[in-house]
Amino acid sequence: MGSGIKYSPEFRARAVKQVVEYSRPNRTVAGELGIKADTLRTWTSRAKREGFEMAEAEETDLEVEVRRLRKEFLKRRRASSQRSRTQSVVRSDRYGEAGLSDRSHVLLGWCI
């Protein structure tokens, strides 16, 4: 009977890929990943029966999701950056380029 540990489909696909595409021994890959060689052998034979493309399909979906989230993140980051720049321009217009207050020219006039 199994140990009850559930491995993600992505983890399984990467492990099987090491064996199938890179021709690495089951025992070596299993040892590096901390799983039993029999478990990896079962995953590999199932992937070969069902077609290895099926095992990799979920990883591709994950990559698509990551790409979508990156675009959304960058879009929001640009919008935030644009708001920040707009606010700093408003501040410099209000206080002048040197950051002086509106009355600073009056104070400087008294000193001259």
The predicted-structure confidence for 33-87, as pLDDT tens digits, reads as follows 999 999 999 999 998 888 765 445 556 778 788 888 999 999 998 888 887 776 6
Show me where the domains of the chain are located: 9-86
- Model confidence at 99: pLDDT above 70: no
* Cα gap 30→35, rounded to integer Å: 5
- Model confidence at 107: pLDDT above 60: no
CA distances to 9, 56, 100 from 52, rounded to whole Å, are: 12, 7, 68
Q: CB–CB of 13/56 below 8 Å?
A: yes
Query: What integer pLDDT is reported at residue 100 of this predicted model?
Result: 52
